[in-house]
Amino acid sequence: MTEEAETDMEEKHMKKATFAGGCFWCMQLPLGEVEGVRSAVAGYAGGTTKNPTYEQVSSGRTGHLEAVQVTYDPETVSYETLLDVFWRQIDPTDDAGQFADIGSQYRTAVFFHDDEQERMAEASKKALDDSGKFAKPVATLILPYTTFYPAEEYHQNYATKKPREYGRYKKYSGREAFIRKTWQAKETVILYSTPRCHTCREIKEYLREKNIAFEEIDISADEGARDLLVEKTGYIGSPVIRIGDEFVFGFDREKMEWLLQKGRQQDHGIFLTKHP
C-alpha cells in the first residue's frame, strides 16, 4: 500500500465534532490539546450566510455561532470526552452569550453530526443538568450540524500566536475565574496524619515546596475522619493523602504528582488517557 493510500484510509477513519462555546479563541486551545484530536479549527457554524466574514457574524444577523470544529480519532479519544472538555470551558446556563460577550453569535451549542452524537450530547446535557452543579438550568442548544466555515487566518490558533492578548482576554472576560471556581475543587488535597508520623512531616514539606495548598486532619483526634477513611478505603493508618476523590497511601510521590497533574489538566479541558 502506498503512503498516499494509507493517508486516505487514516483520514476516512477520523470523525468530526462541532462545538459553539462563545469566543472561539477560548475553545480552540483546550479542544485542540486533547490527545487524539487531529485538528481544531475556529469558524462559524449553523447559519445561512455562505462564507461569512467575522464582521458579518459579529452583527448577529447571519444565524452563525462562533464555533470550533474538531477532527478526531475515535480509537484514541471518545466523543464523550470531547463533550466533557466542552462543558468545562463554558457557562452552560447563559442563553444570551458567554461571559463578557453578549449576542446570538456567542450562544453555546453542540452540533451533532449523526444520531449517535445526538444521543450522547443529549445524555451528557441531562447528566450535567441533573448534577445540581448549577443553580439555573443548562441552556446549551443541541442542534443538527448543517454548515461550518473556517474563520479568517488571524483567528486560527490565536492563543498560540498572541498568548498575552489571549491570556488577558480570558481573564478579563470572566471565563478564567468561572472555570476555576466551578471545576477547581477537584484539586483539593487533604493529608490525614498523626502527631508522631515522620512520613507525614515529609509529605507536608513536599507539598509546601510545590506550593500546593492542603488541609491536615489528625486522625488520632478526629473520630469522624477515621470512620471516613475506613468507609472509603478499608484502611486505618497514616499518612493518607486525598486528592480529589482518590486516596494515596504513604508517600507515593509518583502517584501524587500524577493525580495533581491530572486535576490541573482537567481544569483546562485536557485529559490523560492512561497512567504513565
| Catalytic center residues | 23
In the numeric block, which cell numbers belong to residue 78?
471518545
Q: CA 212 from chain center: how many Å? A: 21
Rg (CA), the chain: 22
In the numeric block, which cell numbers belong to residue 176?
478564567
CB distance 143 to 46 below 8 Å: yes
Report the distance separating Cα 259 and Cα 229, nearest Å: 19
- The H-or-E segment that residue 58 falls in is helix 54-58
C-alpha distances in Å from residue 222, one per residue of 227, 229, 241, 250: 9, 11, 16, 19
